[in-house]
Structure 1
Amino acid sequence: MASVFTYDPDPPRVSSPWIQADDADSSPGSGAAVTQTGLLSEYGVTRLEPEPQTGPIEYKLHLLLRSRRSYVYMSTVRQKRDKLHAQLGDIAALYSASPTPSSSSQPRQERLQRLTTQLLWRLQQSSPYHASSSREVRIPKLSDGKGDAGSPDAHGRQMPGLEESQGALYEIGVADDGTLVGLSRDELEESIATLKNMAASLGCGVTVLRMVIVGDCEWIEIAEPDGNAARKPVQVTKQDKLWVAEALITPNTEVQRSKSLQDVKSHDGSNGATPLQSSTSTTAPPGHAKSTTPQLRVTLTGPIASGKSSLLGTLSTGTLDNGRGKSRLSLLKHRHEMASGMTSSIAQELIGYKERLIFNFSHRNIESWLDIHDYANNGRLVFMSDSGGHPRYRHTVFRGLMNWAPHWMVLCIAADDAEVTHDMASMVMDSADTDLVKAHMDLSLKLDVPLAIVITKLDLASKASLQKTMTKILAAIRDAKRVPKLLQPDQQPQEQLAEIPQADWDKVQNWVGMIGEQGGPLKHVPIVFTSVLKGVGVGLVHALLASLPLPGAPTTTPQAGSTEVKAQPEHPEDLFYIDDTFSLPRSFDDSPSSADGVIVSGHVRFGSFSVGQTIVVGPFSTGHGRVSASEDQSSPDERGSPMLNAVAAEHASISRSYDTPPVIAADEWPRGRIVSIRNLRLPVGTLEAGQVGSIGIVFEHVQTELMPLNSETPQIRRGMVMATPPVDALGSEVTLQAARGFTAEFDEDAAQFPPLGSTVNVLFGCVRTAARIVDVSTQRRETAATSDVDEAAVAAEHRSEERVTKVTVELVHSRKWAELGTSVIIMGNGSQDGSGLQGFVGKITHVVS
């Protein structure tokens, strides 16, 4: 539960047992355009290897849902000579000696459900993503007649995780030990029809790869006499070939937007198919087109020992703490976190709400995030990120506040902070002057993000300590010109909450209604008092998360201060900020022009992304496989090394080429194709603006006269973006221009900034990198001031002058994508208070490409 994305980068391969050892690397689906038919002698085998217990291969004697006919003779089954010449009345006894059963003792619907569940398990064996859900498999309802394959209720919703499966192979007519028993043609076609039903109920399709004749068979049918009722029925001997079939079951994909239709690889094999193949392949709609449930992103921040992880553990699991960290055990990823009690990594959890109902892991029917999606449908999903509090792990604080672009920040402060601050500061920084609470509050109040404060450990604080803590908090809020609101909880313990108490719900609803009329969420700061040991205030926090106002839809028109910023002319249509990467097995595209894929996680800034869509990723500085090792690294104070110590000496050469356009690499923005999408672990076809998710990409190899074919997978780094390039008036694609520097506006005085030529850390979007300060200047910004009291004064607006500081920086290591209006933090080489959180917060107003 402590990680958003979990993948197995090397799942079992789908390898046909019919393929010889020298062809083992061939994909079973690569030559499936036409079904292969022939004799067993053409393959040079007499039997297959025994069925593997695990993996994506399944042997089935048949998939009939009715009783199988009795055969008099089967060349593939060894029988005694005398039994083959027995009387016709002994046919049933003869067939019972065969290794294949004549009928199934299970009802048809029950057998179909068991077979479908088995198919789901085989498909999951080749999936790099192993999803668990309490959702039951939707089995098609069979009719009372023989039209099982044509059931109108055949298609179901694709099960989570299957869209990344490499598929499963079914060997029909084969015993578990690999014996090629075979089926008559009509029974084989009926078995394939059943397999189509099974696959369709899981959102998959079926393609028959090969049909092989393995022997002969003979059986007797009873024929009614024609036109003479007095005549007795006669026995007719019939003969046929015994067939074995190999079928590939793969998940179906569907493009959600017409502009990416030409980039989608067909999975039904209909192009160039024979009539037989057309009858043995099917398509089904994908599991989810998109998630329509509103989503709120919240980042928890606060100093060490402020109870962030314990609070998140209680909210997500319903487990109260025991005073020794019991509630946060599910969030910890590393052994040293358990030993020291200090969180060093980012943990994420998902909580669902529907009116007053709470859906977390305390719910008996919830086993994964997929179940939370189902229960909270059309309600609200709250995606919460934890972060470290120790100054040593301050990078997790900035990553949670910047990379994930939270809609709200929740600052956790211990109620007994006034009693333990001195000892805690001495322990973490060897200095009693470090006030981590003040450092976190100052940073949170500077950012242009709504803030809520949770006072934790209410059971440990005395009245005097709580009063001192609250005095410091309220003073900081008022200095930032915000309005605090105390939300007092009931003192009754609350454990294993299934729904939000009515009293807590009413308190929060009244406050939410008030802020909408008085300045909006950014101006107001709710304060909640909690104790995860006793359960006090937990219901109030749930009520707050379920009711916090959601921001408007992201737009491409940025804002900087009070002045609207003109968007870049080459602004992309869709933009996705990359925060992390994972490996993606080469299972989606067998084309030689495609490289191995990669999975990127992050959030959609604006626009939308769909499966099959063509995109670009970057910017890359020197080529796909030769990205600088220093890219996206911090400055010397973060790494503890003397890197770039001579930067000040280079100040004389800073202006040498800053106004000269750089040479842009030909492969700065490599092209790829989206093959899979997940929105908070939910498989979807489209990820929309403001949503968090992971996207699987397969890159294209480009070969030109000047550049040979490059088979290396681009090394995507945190801080890059994925985008859809814009199109000019003539319909030509416009190349995106990455930034080698930018100018930002700040409210701080210019004298507070480091001197020119200094190396600083800059944080914007998902980027954290080193930069040089090129210029610092003070300018005047005019803002309109109006009076809310005197209407005459409103009509006669007067203008006041406000000074702002403009800082221009040059990126040291590589070019980055910088968006106008984006919040930026500039941090010098060191922190006066020892917290590492001191910085200048502003907005980007100009980008130098």
Structure 2
Amino acid sequence: MASTSIFTYDPEPPRVSSPWLASEDAEKKQGADRSASASNDGDSDPGQESNVERLDAEPQDGPIEYKLHLLLRPRRNYDMMSTTSRIAGSQQSKPRPSFSTKSGNSTLISSSQTRHNRLAHLTTQLLWRLQQSSPYHRKAKRELVIPKLLEDGDSLHLLEKPRELLPGLEESNGALYEIGVSDDGTFVGLTKDEMDESMTTLKIMAASLGCRVEVQRMKMVGKCEWTEGTRQKADLWVAEALIMPILEPQKDPNGDSEGPAQADSSAPVSASQTEQLRVSLTGPTTSGKTTLLGVLANGTLDNGRGSSRINLLRHRHEVVSGQTSSVAQELIGYKDNKIFNYAGVYIKSWTDIHDHAEDGRLAFFSDSAGHLRFRRTILRGLVGWAPHWTFLCIAANGGDVSGRGHHSLTGATDDLGDLTGGLDLAVAHLDLCLRLEIPLVILITKYDLATKDRLKSTLNMILSKIKAKGRIPKLVAPMQPEDPSLSEVPLASQQKVNQDILQNMEGSDMSSIIPVVLTSAVTGLGIGVVHALLNSLPIPPPPTARDFAPQVLNPEQPSTLFHIDDKYELANHASDKSAIVVAGYLRFGSLSIGDRVVLGPFPADDEEARRLVPRDHPSPGDGLSISHPSFAELARFASRNAVSASTVKGEWRNASVVNIRNLRLPVRTMEAGQAGTVQIVFEDPVEELSDTDSIFETTKPTGITIRKGQVLAIPSQHMLDTGLSLQAASGFKAVFSDIGVTSLSVGTLVNVYVATIRAAARILKVIRHLPGSDLRNAVSEGHDDVFGMADSIELERSRSEADFDAAKNEYAVSLELLTNREWIELGSRVVLMEGGKQGSSGLEGYVGSVIEIAE
């Protein structure tokens, strides 16, 4: 099943469209000839009610429901109803009240159906209609909350107060109820008291699901008479009501924000408790990453021509060229050694995988591009999503693509693997992964295509690189699965992983041992071992706000931090409005529906300034011809014209969280370390600013543009008590152990990657740094001028450093961000990438950590 993003929706869910609109169009067409010959005596009033006399028949599916009434009592006996002669009978199989045209008698509830049973039936029916307009919905595991029956003395205010929104209805576009209308669209009508009772019942039903009712229209359609002591007359009415989920925080009479009322205030907040393993799949192009992921996710082996990968590709050009250019995600579940993927009979979506793997484990894969033209997506997968483990794919045949028919859109070969050698690209990816020091697994793919000599050469290269970095490679012998469908983790594979990998990791750093697995997506060799690794690899403890730096060094740390990696516009068919949804991962803290957050920092409003941001051109590599100017000329031009972020004020906007999905699973709370999506609404602006310095001070937003690299944050209590607010950095200082960083000259433009941030920056200074010294006091006497321009690199050396081993030297690099301020966490990892050099792979970079922030 195709799955391209953690926030993918069906592009065409059933629309919530009023049947009155279609009927009005039909009336206009039928009356076109009559109006052409009619006299001017019958000119209609533009403000009068619609002339629609009936609706189209009720659709079998969709979010529209026709109800003659929603009464919980038998309807009175009418002596005359002017509309009953139009009843043509029910067109649907579900039971409807029957009317006699002679006496007007009706039977609402059979003798076996109690008021409670009818209310339960009506509420379940409403839930089904609401789910029809939801792009993805899941079956609620908890029991449906049936509202209390209306009894004498009951407070309607309490019964109509919304409860907690039922999971799965967060993205519903609502449901339309046509009350007083029969199945075939005939207007039957209700008296005013019956309509009021029906509306009250509908509101109580909606409130039990966490929804509200909005009356869209009311129309009088006839007359009726009945006898209750004396002769009674009344008008008959039909109504249209829209039921919508309540997402925004509610206001109580005192003006304080509160979430929807819960059935049990002491009940715990709903959050996913299933263990989650985040894996980034990387490697050079033609290494078989996407094909391998397709086999893992779909449970079917490849045919040797990429059949398993076709559902994972997002764009047509990826299918044509065979090269992945975007970041795609997949989810695989594990529980009791069973594998839950799209091979399962009852698994159609990620929510089904969540349900089956509950209390087990979820493996979330992020598959990025391998071609160096898409270097930013490679870094996004390795850095942006903060993976727990990286799976590096290296082809056993050395990346040889001859005879594969590999081609680009133009029909010409355009593969850097053909130009520089697949093994060289594999070395570049391996070097980058080792520098990042993320726990690593190496998958040797295409084992079925490798010759003995080529495989030996590839393994020698890998093992030598790993040992040179002081890490221990563990080669797992290849194993052929007994069951090609792989519905369960093979017992032999799990035992081998436990014995060879997990036991050796006990009591040591997760990144110290690197498993090396031989695999084939065609024969299934090693696939069981990969599943065994995913089922049992250790996961780091949940992150906290003090993982990188203590509070003494970083007092401005918020209590919750969510890194934004993408943004989506979710159309609401009922209101014709777009909801803002951001995707990313929760660095630390917790985020719940109803929380007030700040979002930012926002970029400069100056379009000219944004235009001058240097672009991240692809690395030319050896022999690659590109059309843009040389990187040296580009750097000189950008250095003269780039705008410093220090001239731009970092702005923050106040918002509220109205919806959360954890890997597409609707939840009320997201925990630290989890990935997913958050829907927000910005608070209404006010004309004047408050006199206080509160972090929730409301400003008037102008031109809000959400972008990758921004954050959602909840200020800490310490920040609220002291009046501290979140600060956006205009630059920072980072420390690196690679002596090669000294080759960066002052004024050089680089791309920096910090969390989900990818930004252009300018080198201001490079100085030697004492290892182990205080983060804020590790600079020399030129501290005050650390962000000043200099004519050359400064390598200041104190007497105490003279005896240090050169291999232990560290170098502090001061950088100035260009155009936009960013939120950068003190102590976080940073990657510096140059624009590209002839003779380089384009993945050479410097990995360090942030030791100082410039505001």
Q: Normalised by the size of structure 1, how large is the TM-score?
A: 0.77
Shift of 1:263: 3.6
2:100 corresponds to 1:95: yes
Shift of 1:783: 9.2
Aligned to 1:815: 821
2:600 corresponds to 1:618: yes
Shift of 1:515: 3.8
CA contact (8 A) 2:662 2:676 kept: yes
How big is each residue's C-alpha offset from its partner over 1:31-57, in whole Å with a ceiling of 9 and x where there is no partner? Answer: xxxxxxxxxxx9745756625758754
SS at match of 2:830: strand
**Change over 3 Å in CA distance of 1:485–1:697 after alignment to 2:** same
Aligned to 2:514: 525
Letter in 1 for 2:851: T
2:126 corresponds to 1:119: yes
Report 1:554-573 matches (<5 A).
554-559=543-548, 567-573=553-559
1:449 to 438, 442, 447: 438
Matches of 2:414 and 2:539, distance apart in 1 = 40
Aligned to 1:431: 419
CA contact (8 A) 2:136 2:171 kept: no
SS at match of 1:579: strand
2:489 corresponds to 1:500: yes
Return 183-192 or 465-474, whichever deviates more: 183-192
How big is each residue's C-alpha offset from its partner over 1:802-829, in whole Å with a ceiling of 9 and x where there is no partner? Answer: 3111111111222111111111111112
Letter in 1 for 2:245: P
**How many residues are matched?**
760
How big is each residue's C-alpha offset from its partner over 1:248-297, in whole Å with a ceiling of 9 and x where there is no partner? Answer: 42324597999x993457699xxxxxxxxxxxxx9999997211111110
Aligned to 2:38: none
How big is each residue's C-alpha offset from its partner over 1:129-169, in whole Å with a ceiling of 9 and x where there is no partner? Answer: x005477996678999999x99x9xx999665522334323
Letter in 2 for 1:170: Y
CA contact (8 A) 2:278 2:365 kept: yes
Shift of 1:246: 4.5
CA contact (8 A) 1:205 1:283 kept: no
Aligned to 1:5: 7
**Change over 3 Å in CA distance of 1:119–1:814 after alignment to 2:** same
Aligned to 2:136: 131
CA contact (8 A) 1:252 1:267 kept: no
Shift of 1:303: 1.1
2:728 to 733, 738, 745: 738
2:347 to 363, 366, 380: 366
**Change over 3 Å in CA distance of 1:624–1:566 after alignment to 2:** farther
Shift of 1:488: 2.0
2:83 to 55, 70, 76: 76
**Change over 3 Å in CA distance of 1:636–1:420 after alignment to 2:** closer
Return 578-587 or 350-359, whichever deviates more: 578-587
Letter in 2 for 1:572: P
1:410 to 368, 385, 391: 391
Letter in 1 for 2:685: V
Return 285-294 or 711-720, whichever deviates more: 285-294
Matches of 1:343 and 1:496, distance apart in 2 = 26
Shift of 1:848: 0.9
**Change over 3 Å in CA distance of 1:3–1:106 after alignment to 2:** farther
Matches of 1:836 and 1:745, distance apart in 2 = 22
**Change over 3 Å in CA distance of 1:427–1:73 after alignment to 2:** closer
2:580 to 569, 580, 598: 598
CA contact (8 A) 1:163 1:251 kept: yes
Letter in 2 for 1:673: S
Aligned to 2:318: 337
2:705 corresponds to 1:715: yes
SS at match of 1:366: coil
**Change over 3 Å in CA distance of 1:199–1:445 after alignment to 2:** same
**Change over 3 Å in CA distance of 1:339–1:254 after alignment to 2:** closer
Aligned to 2:245: 251
Shift of 1:800: 7.5
Q: Alpha carbon RMSD of aligned pairs, Å? A: 4.9
**Change over 3 Å in CA distance of 1:142–1:341 after alignment to 2:** same
2:756 corresponds to 1:766: yes
**Change over 3 Å in CA distance of 1:44–1:135 after alignment to 2:** closer
1:578 to 558, 564, 584: 564
**Change over 3 Å in CA distance of 1:713–1:341 after alignment to 2:** same
SS at match of 2:170: helix
Return 528-537 or 173-182, whichever deviates more: 173-182
Shift of 1:518: 4.3
Aligned to 1:676: 659
2:456 corresponds to 1:467: yes
Return 387-396 or 162-171, whichever deviates more: 162-171
Aligned to 2:739: 749
Aligned to 1:685: 668
SS at match of 2:373: helix
Report 1:696-715 matches (<5 A).
696-704=679-687, 714-715=704-705
Letter in 2 for 1:250: M
2:55 corresponds to 1:50: yes
2:371 corresponds to 1:390: yes
CA contact (8 A) 1:744 1:806 kept: yes
Shift of 1:554: 1.1
Identity score, percent: 43
Letter in 1 for 2:390: M
How big is each residue's C-alpha offset from its partner over 1:488-541, in whole Å with a ceiling of 9 and x where there is no partner? Answer: 243345322221121112222334542443422111111122222112221211
**Change over 3 Å in CA distance of 1:634–1:558 after alignment to 2:** farther
Aligned to 2:410: none
CA contact (8 A) 1:252 1:285 kept: no
CA contact (8 A) 2:648 2:819 kept: no
Aligned to 2:786: none
Matches of 1:8 and 1:624, distance apart in 2 = 36
Aligned to 2:853: 847
**Change over 3 Å in CA distance of 1:283–1:552 after alignment to 2:** closer
SS at match of 2:84: coil
Aligned to 1:175: 182
**Change over 3 Å in CA distance of 1:395–1:158 after alignment to 2:** same
**Change over 3 Å in CA distance of 1:266–1:553 after alignment to 2:** closer
Matches of 2:571 and 2:665, distance apart in 1 = 19
Matches of 1:575 and 1:651, distance apart in 2 = 33
Letter in 1 for 2:55: P
**Change over 3 Å in CA distance of 1:720–1:71 after alignment to 2:** same
Matches of 1:711 and 1:17, distance apart in 2 = 38
SS at match of 1:745: strand
Matches of 2:265 and 2:551, distance apart in 1 = 46
CA contact (8 A) 2:481 2:527 kept: no
SS at match of 1:669: strand
**Change over 3 Å in CA distance of 1:783–1:431 after alignment to 2:** same
Letter in 1 for 2:460: T
Matches of 1:8 and 1:734, distance apart in 2 = 43
**Change over 3 Å in CA distance of 1:650–1:566 after alignment to 2:** farther
CA contact (8 A) 1:250 1:267 kept: no
Aligned to 2:793: none
Aligned to 1:162: 169
How big is each residue's C-alpha offset from its partner over 1:197-232, in whole Å with a ceiling of 9 and x where there is no partner? Answer: 7646755455677877765545689xxxxxxxxxxx
